[in-house]
């Protein structure tokens, strides 16, 4: 393999480029990024960066003296892939020729339908999103966050600290239930009320009001909440449209095996755009976590260079979230019927460490302000294949 194109210049793309060089690839390396910026770190966008505590320079992912000997094409989108010809088509009319392609185009925030031209309505995915939102987070303003997932919860937490009046609306009866389960999702969501954020669960949003600028949120039960600012934290859509017609299997993301291999040997996928086969789920499973983008890139690169998955071990998914001064950490994949035990604290305490067990084996762990115990128990997780 003499040339590789990495499509995507965020954490997954940069990590893949680094892994290529570290694994001895000395050919031509091209990195294509849709944003005009150099690679930057997104997790602080809902926290320290949104609060104004750190600046843009602090988000840089590259080292000062880092040189990957790559050709960077930033501010251009890939629009097509002709794997047979080894060509990636770009929206500036040019194309990149490469023997191998790493798809790392990530995901984009799902926007609230019909709100594109309504001022004061935001999503949060990019630096530009964060800068625009920060402008609107004025003390005393009324913020409504749609969606009590991690992005929504972190924005609410930052906004409370900035002195806003904050309401979070969640359509599910329990926030975070799909990731943490009902009981622990509810426990973590209690942080909102404890810190002055109103949380409304089990009610959908039927629409936004306002002519040019948003004035409020209409709920499915007929209530109307006045709002100066609205943030939609309602999930992300994988950026895979450029691969339509390429022959790659696309579902919710690029369908891959457990090592990032796609249905075309010269193409691998990693990061938020990729759905790797997950033995614990028994199906392709898209993981949208920072750590996956960082760690799995090396596996995908080894798969690409060897032509197939080499069996490298893939760690259990891990994510963290900082809300209201609390550090939440989770590793593994939980299922609703897992048995939960507490190794520290309990449901009624601010800080606890919970282990999820299946057939008496630890399969996931959740910690709130328990980093030391979490670190230890995370290493004891035993991935259980879905069939067992």
Stretch touching other proteins by CB under 8 A, among 167-175, 262-270, 290-298, 358-366? 290-298
55 versus 139: smaller Cβ distance to other proteins: 55
Q: What angle do CA 169, 126, 227 make, to 5 degrees?
A: 30
Is 343 a binder of other proteins (CB under 8 A)?
no
State the number of binding residues for other proteins (CB under 8 A): 23
Q: Are 176 and 185 in contact (CB under 8 A)?
A: yes
Q: What are phi and psi of 152, to 5 degrees?
A: -60, -45
In angstroms, the CA 132 to CA 126 distance is 10
Nearest approach, Cβ of residue 382 and other proteins (Å): 18
Return the residue of 36, 54, 220, 347 that touches other proteins, per CB under 8 A.
54
In angstroms, the CA 103 to CA 100 distance is 10
Is 313 a binder of other proteins (CB under 8 A)?
no
In angstroms, the CA 324 to CA 189 distance is 11
How far is C-alpha 262 from the geometric centre of its chain's CA atoms?
Answer: 21
Distances (CA, A) of 146 to 14, 141, 152, 161, 371: 31, 16, 7, 18, 29
Is 379 a binder of other proteins (CB under 8 A)?
yes
Return the residue of 346, 376, 380, 382 that touches other proteins, per CB under 8 A.
376
Stretch touching other proteins by CB under 8 A, among 215-223, 264-272, 287-295, 300-308? 287-295
Is 371 a binder of other proteins (CB under 8 A)?
yes
Is 325 a binder of other proteins (CB under 8 A)?
no
112 versus 150: smaller Cβ distance to other proteins: 150
Nearest approach, Cβ of residue 371 and other proteins (Å): 4
* Site pattern 6..45 for other proteins (x: CB under 8 A): -----------------------------------x--x-
* 61-90: contacts with other proteins (CB under 8 A): 61, 63-64
53 versus 92: smaller Cβ distance to other proteins: 53
Return the residue of 24, 55, 222, 336 that touches other proteins, per CB under 8 A.
55
Stretch touching other proteins by CB under 8 A, among 51-59, 236-244, 272-280, 281-289? 51-59
Q: Which residues bind to other proteins, rule: CB under 8 A? A: 41, 44, 48, 53-55, 58, 61, 63-64, 290-291, 294-295, 320, 327, 329, 371-372, 374-376, 379
């Amino acid at each position: 393999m003499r040339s590789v194109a990495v499509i995507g210049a965020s954490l997954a793309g940069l990590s893949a480029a680094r892994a290529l060089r570290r694994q001895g690839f000395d050919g031509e390396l091209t990195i294509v990024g849709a944003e005009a910026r150099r690679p930057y770190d997104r997790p602080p966008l809902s926290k320290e960066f949104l609060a104004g505590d750190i600046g843009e320079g602090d988000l840089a992912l590259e080292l000062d003296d880092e040189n990957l000997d790559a050709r960077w094409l930033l501010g251009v989108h890939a629009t097509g892939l002709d794997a047979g010809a080894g060509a990636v088509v770009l929206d500036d009319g040019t194309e990149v020729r490469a023997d191998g392609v790493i798809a790392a185009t990530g995901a984009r925030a799902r926007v609230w339908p019909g709100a594109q031209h309504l001022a004061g309505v935001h999503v949060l995915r990019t630096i530009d999103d964060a800068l625009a939102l920060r402008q609107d987070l004025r003390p005393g303003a009324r913020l409504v966050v749609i969606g009590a997932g991690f992005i929504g919860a972190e924005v609410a937490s930052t906004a409370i600290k900035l002195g806003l009046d904050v309401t979070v609306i969640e359509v599910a009866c329990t926030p975070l239930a799909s990731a943490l389960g009902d009981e622990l999702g509810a426990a973590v969501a209690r942080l909102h009320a404890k810190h002055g954020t109103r949380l409304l669960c089990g009610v959908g949003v039927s629409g936004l009001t306002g002519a040019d600028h948003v004035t409020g949120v209409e709920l499915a039960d007929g209530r109307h909440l006045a709002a100066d600012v609205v943030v939609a934290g309602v999930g992300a859509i994988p950026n895979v449209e450029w691969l339509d017609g390429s022959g790659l299997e696309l579902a919710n993301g690029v369908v891959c095996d457990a090592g990032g291999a796609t249905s075309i040997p010269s193409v691998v996928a990693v990061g938020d755009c990729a759905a790797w086969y997950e033995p614990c789920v028994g199906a392709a499973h898209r993981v949208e976590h920072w750590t996956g983008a960082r760690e799995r890139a090396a596996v995908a690169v080894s798969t690409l260079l060897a032509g197939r998955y080499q069996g490298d071990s893939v760690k259990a998914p891990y994510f963290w979230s900082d809300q209201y001064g609390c550090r939440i950490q989770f590793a593994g994949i939980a299922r609703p019927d897992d048995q939960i035990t507490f190794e520290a604290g309990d449901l009624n305490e601010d800080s606890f460490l919970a282990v999820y067990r299946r057939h008496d084996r630890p399969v996931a762990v959740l910690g709130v302000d328990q980093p030391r115990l979490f670190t230890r128990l995370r290493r004891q997780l035993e991935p259980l294949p879905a069939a067992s």
